[in-house]
């Protein structure tokens, strides 16, 4: 168990030697995971960060390496390795999303930039305290108090947090600051977490039946339904940027004189140029094809390739889409269309 004051002390002490990423609210009330300087920066009462914590492991813009061609010789300057980091306050849906990203970057091709940050990062999960109207994580087998994917999981129980050590990384973190954690009240904390889980289970306003959806959507590649969905879409890409499992990126060069750098930056499969070839051929030139690809990826492709769903039911795309395209409605429609 750990109190709120002790937790704040823990973050302040971690900041001294680590990069600490936590939910922070800006002057517009938008919560995103960003580096903090003190525990006072943390948005303690946040419900769901608008920008998910994937931005730590896969930054929106990331320098991969620098190069210098002075004197006609090419010299590559690698970017310094990432230091130790702690990502604090990750909700269960985002924990599952990180697990869904891991096999993408740790498959046949190893992404050393992502994997280095994963290896050097301790993930501290935080159970939800309420279920938002757009949440449907439970449909994907995720409970709002689940700790799977965290190194250390915290659940607020009364005026303290019930702390669960789930990995050696989490154990090492607790052992580093033994004076801040207490064994007293652990059973009370466990019961409090169970009670919270039951309470939150009754708050869900959205649930979808995923039975047979993958099998059905796999037969719908040429179905006219995708044109119907595409009519509403404006191709802004907000669904992909705020999705915790989307991971499309582009590689660009930043060059001036004899020096330059190679950058990786987020891209979106909803953009017209995403699949544009140098030959000028574009295999997904229409909005219908791009919309179809997005939902096939979420509901079929990712699961088929990696064994985990490409959606975690966080509800960000439902809440933020400017034209109200709702994946839960699309799932329901898929089950009904002929």
Average pLDDT, the chain: 96
Beta bridge partners of 155: 162
Helices vs. strands in the chain: H and E counts, helices first: 13, 11
Beginning with the edge strand found earlier in the chain, give each strand of the sheet holding 121-126 in spatial order.
Answer: 2-3, 160-165, 152-157, 121-126, 85-90, 19-25, 31-35
Residue where the block lists tokens 């922070």:
24
DSSP result, 168-201: HHHHHHHHHSGGG---TTHHHHHHHHHHHHHHHH
Whether 55 has a pLDDT exceeding 90, the answer reads yes
Task: Round to whole Å and give the CA distance between 180 and 12.
Answer: 12
Phi then psi for 281, rounded to 5 degrees?
A: -75, 140
DSSP result, 271-286: SGGGG--TTS--TT-S
Whether 79 has a pLDDT exceeding 90, the answer reads no
Helix (H) or strand (E) holding 75: strand 75-78
Residue where the block lists tokens 């849906």:
93
Q: What angle do CA 94, 85, 98 make, to 5 degrees?
A: 20
Radius of gyration in angstroms for the set of CA atoms belonging to the chain, rounded to a whole number: 22
Q: Give the mean pLDDT of 11-28.
A: 96
DSSP 8-state secondary structure symbol assigned to residue 79: P
Would you tell me how many other CB atoms lie within 10 Å of the CB of residue 124?
Answer: 25
- The per-residue pLDDT for 5 is 97
pLDDT band at 82 (very low <50, low <70, confident <90, very high): confident
pLDDT band at 80 (very low <50, low <70, confident <90, very high): confident
Question: What spatial distance separates the first Cα and last Cα of the chain, rounded to whole Å?
Answer: 54
Strands 152-157 and 121-126: parallel
CA-to-CA separations, 275 to 72, 117, 124, 231, in angstroms, rounded? 34, 28, 37, 20
Whether 81 has a pLDDT exceeding 90, the answer reads no
SS3 (DSSP) at 327: helix
Would you tell me how many other CB atoms lie within 10 Å of the CB of residue 190?
Answer: 14
Number of Cα atoms under 13 Å in the Cβ half of residue 7: 23
Phi then psi for 32, rounded to 5 degrees?
A: -145, 160
Which pTM value belongs to this model?
A: 0.94
Per-residue model confidence as pLDDT tens digits over 189-224: 999 999 999 999 999 999 999 999 999 999 999 999
Cβ atoms 92, 145 nearer than 8 A: yes
Cβ atoms 68, 25 nearer than 8 A: no
Residue where the block lists tokens 């919309």:
291
Largest CA distance in the chain: 69
- The per-residue pLDDT for 338 is 86
Residues in the chain: 338
Task: Round to whole Å and give the CA distance between 312 and 208.
Answer: 12
Q: Is the dihedral of CA 106, 108, 110, 114 positive or negative?
A: negative
Per-residue model confidence as pLDDT tens digits over 152-196: 999 999 999 999 999 999 999 999 999 999 998 999 999 999 999
């Amino acid at each position: 168990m750990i109190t709120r004051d002790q937790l704040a002390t823990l973050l302040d002490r971690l900041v001294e030697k680590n990069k600490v990423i936590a939910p922070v609210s800006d002057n517009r009330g938008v919560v995103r995971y960003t580096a903090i300087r003190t525990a006072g920066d943390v948005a303690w009462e946040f419900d769901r960060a608008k920008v998910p914590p994937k931005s730590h492991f896969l930054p929106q813009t990331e320098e991969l390496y620098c190069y210098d061609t002075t004197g006609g010789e090419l010299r590559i300057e690698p970017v310094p390795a990432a230091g130790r980091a702690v990502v604090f306050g990750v909700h269960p849906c985002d924990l599952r999303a990180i697990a869904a990203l891991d096999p993408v970057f740790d498959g046949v091709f190893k992404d050393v930039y992502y994997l280095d940050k994963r290896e050097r990062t301790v993930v501290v999960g935080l159970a939800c305290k309420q279920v938002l109207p757009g949440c449907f994580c439970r449909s994907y087998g995720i409970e709002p108090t689940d700790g799977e994917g965290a190194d250390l999981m915290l659940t607020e129980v009364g005026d303290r947090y019930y702390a669960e050590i789930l990995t050696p990384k989490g154990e090492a973190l607790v052992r580093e600051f033994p004076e801040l954690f207490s064994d007293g009240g652990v059973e009370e904390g466990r019961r409090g977490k169970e009670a919270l889980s039951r309470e939150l289970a009754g708050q869900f306003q959205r649930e979808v039946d995923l039975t047979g959806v993958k099998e059905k959507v796999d037969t719908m590649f040429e179905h006219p339904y995708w044109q119907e969905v595409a009519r509403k879409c404006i191709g802004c890409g907000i669904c992909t940027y705020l999705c915790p499992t989307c991971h499309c990126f582009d590689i660009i060069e930043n060059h001036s004189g004899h020096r330059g750098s190679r950058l990786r930056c987020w891209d979106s499969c909803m953009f017209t140029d995403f699949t544009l070839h140098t030959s000028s051929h574009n295999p997904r030139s229409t909005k219908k094809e791009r919309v179809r690809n997005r939902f096939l990826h979420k509901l079929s492709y990712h699961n088929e390739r990696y064994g985990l769903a490409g959606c975690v039911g966080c509800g960000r795309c439902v809440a933020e889409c400017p034209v109200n395209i709702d994946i839960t409605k699309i799932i329901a429609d898929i089950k009904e269309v002929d």
